[in-house]
Structure 1
Amino acid sequence: MSSEGPNLGSRLVKLFPDQNKLGKGQIAYAALALYIFRKRALFDDFARAMANGSVSIQLHELLWVAVSQDLFAQGYVIPSRYSLSPPHRNAPATSADRNPVTDWRTLPAFCLSSRSHVVLKIASIDESSKSEEIEVYRLLTRAPYVNDTRNPIVKETRIVTLRDDEDEALVTLLVMPLLTPVCSTRFHTHASRFEFARQIIHGLAYLHDVGICHGDIHLSNLLMSNSGPPFKIYFIDFDLARREDDRTRMVAWQGGKIRLPELGEDLSHPNLYNPFTADIYSLSVTWFHFESVRFLLRSVHFGA
């Protein structure tokens, strides 16, 4: 029997003997990766690359390796330790070549056409299921929304779908410029911090005006421009977003990174709550965290 047959699962376990616990979403991603390996007879190449060290990944990162050649065909060079394609001599190293990736669905890459660093995010692996995040970006990156200065998303974001030989969608990605995480220590003046507050308030107000609830407002879901001050602030990660015409509607909703006391203790059966109101609460907590980090760092500096 071909080595690309039904025993791929057991072979995969042998490659990752200490990594047999995956989350529900990660299992689906790994299953898709195995499907691609089997269909394209790539597993032997992958196993050899793991053995000689040219590929070095965790099990939950398997899908990046499976689609690495598709990404290269689209003009995106991902870090060499994730790729079955040979290193591209004209692509500079990305941060993931030196440092671990913290979010398994995102990966820095280099775009050959624009000669720029970008971030890839796997937004969907099943075309039949609805991805609210993709729908939000489709809406806000087209006219008239894309031309509105209040629009707080990264307007250069592209939606890229990787397809197999039968034109079936494998993976849908969001591709955006590599920006900077919000760092409160870079806002040195009262004016720059007030500008940060103004932008996040106006940005959330704009999302609500067009009927979008973010659902997961948090400092980690904000980015800022690479140059400044003034910095441009962007909202990202719309995984928990929802679009509602009725902004007074109460919904059963577990919330995002910032927990709302009103949801109750049992998040498997949360209390009904207005998600737009939850966004406002989360925004205020985010501002508090932003100021608290700056205050603590300043206290350490003066106490040293």
Structure 2
Amino acid sequence: MSAPEASSEPQQKPRREPFGLVQHEIYWRDRYDWLLEHGYRLRPRYHPDWVPSWKTNSKLTAGGTEDSKSLPHIDLIDAVQVESDRPVVLKLVETHTSEEGLIVEYFSKEPVASDPRNHCIYSMDVLQPPDDAEHTLLVFPILRPYDNPDFDTFGEALDFIRQLLEGLAFLHEHKVAHRDLRSSNLMLDAKSMYNERYFCWAPDLKSDARHKITAKRTRTETWPKYYIIDFGFSKMFQDQEHPLDVPKYASDLTVPEFINPDIPCDPFPIDVYTFGNLIRMDFIDGNRLSNHNGRLGFEFLRPLIEAMTKKKPEERITMQQALEQFDGIVSELSEWKLRARPIRIPGGYIFAPDTFERVGANVSHLYRKLKYVVKRMPPMPPASTTPQPTAESASPSKAPAEDAQVDETPQAVDSESPSQSEQVKPSKPSE
């Protein structure tokens, strides 16, 4: 083919190198130096002069290294706060079309920040990206999916439910409707359970993304705190006694109010419904399309769930009433029940353990149960001593240094459950 003929051919886009940067990661690479100047260091993958580690070390394999892992979400990236050597997550929040930044800031400031009922994710810092007036950058601590690692006892699972009921009641008390309650938006601060850092987007791996990591302590030994994240769909209603708003379509499409999507309604009963339905699917009935297929032994929560998910919103209990009803139910449970091990129902993405695994799990659980009893560790923390907010949440504008060995985490990772993430999905800014 002659040169003129070749020039008439349409130009082909250069093919992306395997495990190279994907389109939405370019945004972060272009701001690597700026973020470093402001105290946040991204992974080597985003350095402007990045050379893949597997190209300089023959012992490494592409796809099996930390710098070959791309970002699962277009609006989130993991980083390290240089001064404290603390792992964090940066989130791009739409400035003009979302109230997320304002709501997070409200719950991150005193006196609201240090209220023990506050379970809203707090912002450690706020940055304004250069040449991007459409977005603000919020800096969050790293968290894990709420059930990773899995609950060791019924008491641990019930502590999670109670903390979230408490946090959501607090949210509603401050006239904020979340409007997108789902499993991936409920996170665990597990830094007290681990001795090493884990990889943000695959929390079962160490920070090198090559080796497995396991918790060194259970929830019963540490009683961690849970957080509500992703306020991208949320709205604050100021002093309105009975606010009305067009329902916001989100993850749970079974919400009865969605039948008439154009009719304004009270958004708070929708939160009650979605959290009640979440408990039903994650802990009782299951959802075979997700990694939550229910657990055996939580039928005692059925009356609470039914009261939270009434078809008519005016017949549903409030979040505060749900908390009070929950406390009444739990008060009737025996210590033996609270210390028992909840069993996941096989199905969907959950596989039944073989006999050897089942026996091993039962024996190790019995050993831990005896240890808890001997050490007089409570099967569930008293409501009056719900885990206090960390020092960081009490002073969210500052991010104090923490033990470099330990970590926290947000988000998760798979499409359904991970993440601090699917919050606001900004248009690719070259992202």
Q: TM-score, normalised by structure 2?
A: 0.51
Q: Which residue pairs with 2:352 in the alignment?
A: 301
2:142 and 2:148 mapped to 1: Cα distance?
A: 19
Q: Distance in 2 between matches of 1:257 and 1:233?
A: 20
User: For residues 83 and 171 of structure 1, what CA distance do their matches in structure 2 show?
Assistant: 22
One-letter amino acid of the structure 2 residue matched with residue 134 of structure 1: G
The equivalent of 2:73 in structure 1 is 103
Output one character per residue of 1:84-109: Cα deviation in whole Å (capped at 9) or x when no partner: 1668xxxxxxx963433221110111
Contact 2:76–2:91 (CA under 8 A) maintained in structure 1:
yes
Give yes or no for the alignment of 1:276 onto 2:327: no
- Contact persistence 1:215–1:278 (CA under 8 A): yes
Which ranges of structure 1 fall in alignment gaps of 5 or more residues? 1-9, 17-49, 88-94
Report what 1:73 is aligned to.
37
* Inter-CA distance 180–261: structure 2 relative to 1 (3 Å threshold): closer
**Cα distance in 2 for residues equivalent to 1:284 and 1:184:** 21
Distance in 2 (alpha carbons) for counterparts of 1:232 and 1:250: 32
Aligned partner (choices 212, 230, 248) of residue 237 of structure 1: 230
Q: 1:207: how far off? A: 0.4
CA contact (8 A) 2:177 2:268 kept: yes
Taking structure 1 as reference, are residues 85 and 235 closer, same or farther at Cα in structure 2, changes over 3 Å only?
farther
Shift of 1:302: 5.1
Question: Corresponding residue for 1:175?
Answer: 139
Cα distance in 2 for partners of 1:100, 1:123 equals 20
Q: TM-score, normalised by structure 1?
A: 0.70
Q: 1:145 to 1:69 in 2, by over 3 A?
A: same
- 2:25–2:71 CA contact under 8 A, matched in 1: no
Which residue of 2 is the match for residue 157 of structure 1? 124
Q: Secondary structure at the match of 2:166?
A: helix
Name the structure 2 match of 1:205. Answer: 169
Secondary structure at 1:272 match in 2: coil
- Which structure has the larger Rg over C-alpha atoms? 2
Distance across 1 between alignment mates of 2:274 and 2:148: 17
- Gap change, CA 1:83 and 1:161, over 3 Å in 2: same
Q: Deviations over 1:33-62 (max 9, x none)?
A: xxxxxxxxxxxxxxxxx77x8x92222333
Deviation readout 1:96-123 (Å, 9 max, x if unpaired): 6343322111011111111011111111
Assess if the C-alpha contact under 8 Å between 1:158 and 1:174 holds in 2: yes
Residues 4-25 of structure 1, C-alpha deviation per residue, up to 9 Å, x if partnerless? Answer: xxxxxx99x9357xxxxxxxxx
1:116 maps to which residue?
A: 86
Counterparts of 2:47 and 2:233 in 1: how far apart (Å)? 30
Aligned residues of 1:247 and 1:276 also touching (Cα < 8 A): no
In structure 2, what is the equivalent of residue 221 of structure 1? 185
Q: Is the 8 A contact 2:88 2:142 kept in 1?
A: yes
Cα deviation code 1:167-220 (max 9, x no counterpart):
x84741111111111126621111111111110100000000011111111110
- The alignment yields a C-alpha RMSD, in angstroms, of 3.0
Name the aligned partner's letter for residue 223 of structure 1: M
Q: Does residue 250 of structure 2 align to residue 256 of structure 1?
A: yes
Aligned residue for 2:240?
246
Q: 2 CA distance for matches of 1:58 and 1:100?
A: 7
Deviates more, 1:279-288 or 1:201-210: 279-288
Say whether the 8 Å CA contact 1:64–1:83 is kept in structure 2. no
> 1:244-298: per-residue Cα shift (whole Å, max 9, x none)?
13252232123221124423458xx544332111111111122123313352745
Q: Which region of structure 1 is more displaced relative to structure 2, 103-112 or 63-72? A: 63-72
- What is the rounded CA distance, in whole Å, between the counterparts of 2:25 and 2:124 in structure 1? 23
Give the one of 281, 284, 288 matched to 1:289.
Answer: 281
- Is it true that 1:187 corresponds to 2:179 in the alignment? no
| Counterpart in the other structure of 1:40 | none
Q: How many residues align?
A: 244
Per-residue deviation, 1:154: 2.8
Structure 2 unaligned regions, length at least 5: 1-9, 52-64, 194-217, 287-291, 296-342, 356-431
Q: Which amino acid aligns with 1:273?
A: C
Aligned to 2:416: none
Q: Distance in 2 between matches of 1:158 and 1:189?
A: 36
Amino acid of the residue matched to residue 106 of structure 1? L
Change (3 A) 1:236 1:248: same
Which has the higher mean CA deviation after the structures are superposed, 247-256 or 280-289? 247-256
